[in-house]
Amino acid sequence: MISKNVLYNALDKINQNKKNADLIANNNLQNALKYSEFSEIYKLEKQAQIETARCEVYGLNNNFELDKIAQQKSKILKKLNIDESTLEPKYTCKKCDDTGYENGKMCACLKKQINEELYKQSGLNHKLNCFNKDNCKVFDDTKKIEQIYQNMQKWCDSPSSNYLNIILTGKTGVGKTYLMECMADNLIKNENIVFWTSAFNLNQLLLKYHTTFDETKLDYISNLLDADYLFIDDLGTEPILKNVTVEGLYNIISERVENNKKTIISTNLNPDEIQQTYGERIFSRLLNKSNSLCINIENKDLRLIKK
């Protein structure tokens, strides 16, 4: 499960929408009930609804005609110049009525709110880039990069893909992070839960997990384990902490592979350097050809080009 704080904050914001909608509707109803004519028909309708339900349960004849009562209520409201729709809550999400769950499953609105909470933790301070026709204009080999972008967009749109790990390699400034942002943006729009972290921040979470011995321990890694898609930017730039970095990264990657969850990593390291830095076990997990795809991006430093 996504960390408790993230889930609680997301649910709290959605439930606040529900409370506000309920409060407005109830205030409108109370004002309408001040009119005796409406108050009487409203009470009659409630009595009729209860009796109708009772008759349905016990198979009895029902003497109330709900449709006629509803029509009469509508006429009274029209006479009083009261919009009937204002007496019912106007929820922000029509699918779940601002509960966060639809048919027992997480609603798209809750996933969106969770992504907003996770984005605050990402360290990113700008809006994510997105796939568009201008993505590849600044690259030297436009056709090759266009193909990479098309393949990655197709992968994002194919949750059943066999590739669980996508490794983007290349020198600093060639556009690895930019492509990852486009992928993250696409996945969020497709109602997936996405967690983005730099390798440095990942290392800090693993260290806190390693040095915590109470019930909050799992909170440090739950987002890493349970997000539908985990993005790790700049792997290889973090310090290697004994008994923390390599072991923690291996456990995260292994758990995600076992649970069929997908991980996208950018790194300046080539495959040989990944093996030298993190060892054979992580190398085999990240670059297993049966479920991993390694893409090398070659280009001049885009940050220098933009200047």
> What pLDDT, in 10s, does the model give residues 221-272?
999 999 999 999 999 999 999 999 999 999 999 999 999 999 999 999 999 9
123, HSE (Cβ side, Cα atoms, 13 Å): 12
**DSSP secondary structure letter of residue 85:** G
DSSP state of 217: G
Position 246 in a domain: yes
Q: Is 165 left (phi over 0), alpha (psi -120 to 50) or beta?
A: beta
Task: Please indicate, yes or no, if residue 107 is contained in any of the structural domains.
Answer: no
Domain check: are 75 and 139 in the same one? no
151 and 287 within one domain: yes
Using the 3D structure, point to which of 48, 64, 98 is the last residue of a domain. Answer: 98
Cα–Cα distance measured from residue 137 to residue 297, given in angstroms and rounded to the nearest whole number: 15
| 296 and 199 both lie in a single domain | yes
Within a domain: residue 2?
no
Predicted TM-score (pTM) of the model is 0.85
What letters, b where the CB count within 10 A reaches 16 and e where it falls short, cover 177-204?
bbbbbbbbbbbbeeebbbbbbbbebbbe
Q: How many domains does the chain have?
A: 2
Q: Tell which residue, 112, 95, 97, has the closest CA to residue 192.
A: 112
The answer to whether residue 163 is domain-embedded is yes
Specify the pLDDT at position 304.
43
What's the CATH code of the domain at 178?
3.40.50.300
Residue 114 forms part of a structural domain: no
Q: Is residue 280 part of a domain?
A: yes
Does some domain include residue 275? yes
305 confidence band (pLDDT: 50, 70, 90): very low
Residues 23 and 160 in one domain: no
Residues 227 and 298 grouped into a single domain: yes
Q: Which domain holds residue 219?
A: 122-306
Please check the confidence at residue 307 and state whether its pLDDT lies above 50: no
Lowest mean pLDDT across 36-40, 78-82, 172-176, 208-212: 172-176
Same domain, 149 and 285: yes
Q: Considering the domain boundaries, does residue 155 fall inside one?
A: yes
* 108 vs 101: CA distance, rounded Å: 8
Q: What is the pLDDT of residues 124-180, one digit of tens each?
A: 878 898 888 777 776 666 788 889 999 999 999 998 889 999 999 999 888 899 999
Domain co-membership, 75 together with 161: no
* One domain for residues 160 and 300: yes
